[in-house]
């Protein structure tokens, strides 16, 4: 069976999470870094305690809830500080690493796993670094490649799981090259090295936005001049722009 390895990029409030979580194969698991990100989902969402995640991985397919979430949003760090810099917090990333490793070692009974979002994962990695390796925070030239490298490792591990994988990612504001006149949007990740290659690490790299009140994804570079590198290894013959739901993209190949 073919498994989806998708990265879906777009600006905020473009219904990326809703399009994926509401329509992709279930049972579905969300690894969540976006506070209130699942509020848009109309179906019940079952919360799993990270400390009990091994038990969830041992369940049979028919025992799982249609939509489950493991939440890594750290409300304890949502306080003001008189210092200038990232507030350290190692627990959220520590729990995320343990969760991913459980999916690898214990097993992944879910049909689809969604990481929401890659940008939020980067923030959690940075907070972990601020607490465990404070000397790395002196310059972005040092911490940005390290955060990018850890995100790269995450993509490599999770795309090996035997299930559908979707990474949701925010994107940068339009950036115009004054020499060429080209306007470009890119994944919102801290490392230029990762930003330039992240689309090659997945099989489907799409850009989503709302048009006329409907969520659509661009699937090829022919569809837009301002998003570079998007495309899909499969399905072949996709229109340059399709609906953002599972059926519109994969319906002919995955039933």
Q: Does 99 fall in a domain? A: yes
Structure-token pair, residue 49:
């305690």
Contact criterion met (CB below 8 Å) for 14 and 215: yes
For residues 175 and 148, give the distance between their C-alpha atoms in angstroms, rounded to a whole number. Answer: 20
Give me the pLDDT at residue 175, please. 64
Looking at the predicted structure, is the pLDDT value of residue 186 above 70?
yes
Domain that holds residue 213: 5-250
Closest by alpha carbon to 125, among 149, 101, 142? 149
Give me the pLDDT at residue 225, please. 58
| CATH code for position 160 | 3.40.50
Give me the pLDDT at residue 135, please. 81
Give me the pLDDT at residue 61, please. 94
Residues 164-175: tens digit of each pLDDT: 999 999 998 766
How much is the mean pLDDT over the chain? 90
Contact criterion met (CB below 8 Å) for 67 and 46: yes
Q: Does 194 fall in a domain? A: yes
Give me the pLDDT at residue 116, please. 95
Q: Does 129 fall in a domain? A: yes
Position 242 confidence tier, pLDDT thresholds 50, 70, 90: very high
Looking at the predicted structure, is the pLDDT value of residue 233 above 60?
yes
**What average pLDDT does the segment 228-243 reach?**
91
Residues 117-170: tens digit of each pLDDT: 999 999 999 999 988 988 888 888 888 999 999 999 999 999 999 999 999 999
* Phi, psi for 48 (deg, rounded to 5): -110, 130
Give me the pLDDT at residue 221, please. 75
Q: Which residues pair with 241 in a beta bridge?
A: 218
Q: Does 57 fall in a domain? A: yes
For residues 227 and 136, give the distance between their C-alpha atoms in angstroms, rounded to a whole number. Answer: 32
Q: Does 160 fall in a domain? A: yes
Q: Does 19 fall in a domain? A: yes
Please state the domain count of the chain: 1
Predicted TM-score (pTM) of the model is 0.93
Q: Does 255 fall in a domain? A: no
Residues 191-228: tens digit of each pLDDT: 889 998 999 999 999 999 999 999 999 998 765 557 77
């Amino acid at each position: 069976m073919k498994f989806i390895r998708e990265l879906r990029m777009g600006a905020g409030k473009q219904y990326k999470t809703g399009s994926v979580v509401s329509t992709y194969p279930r049972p579905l698991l969300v690894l969540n870094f976006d506070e209130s990100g699942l509020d848009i989902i109309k179906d019940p969402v079952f919360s799993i305690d990270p400390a009990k995640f091994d038990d969830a991985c041992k369940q049979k397919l028919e025992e799982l809830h249609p939509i489950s979430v493991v939440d890594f949003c750290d409300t304890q760090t949502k306080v003001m500080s008189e210092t200038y810099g990232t507030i350290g917090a190692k627990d959220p990333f520590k729990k995320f690493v343990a969760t991913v490793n459980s999916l690898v070692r214990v097993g992944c009974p879910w049909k689809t796993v969604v990481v929401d979002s890659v940008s939020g994962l980067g923030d959690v990695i940075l907070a972990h670094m601020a607490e465990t390796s404070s000397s790395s925070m002196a310059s972005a030239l040092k911490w940005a490649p390290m955060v990018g490298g850890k995100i790269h490792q995450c993509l490599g591990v999770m795309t090996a799981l035997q299930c559908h994988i979707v990474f949701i990612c925010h994107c940068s504001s339009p950036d115009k090259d004054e020499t060429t006149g080209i306007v470009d949007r890119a994944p919102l990740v801290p490392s230029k090295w990762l930003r330039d290659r992240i689309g090659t690490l997945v099989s489907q790299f799409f850009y989503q936005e709302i048009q006329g009140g409907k969520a659509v994804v661009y699937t090829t570079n022919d569809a837009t001049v301002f998003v570079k590198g998007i495309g899909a290894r499969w399905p072949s013959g996709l229109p340059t722009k399709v609906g953002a739901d599972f059926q519109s993209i994969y319906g002919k190949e995955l039933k």
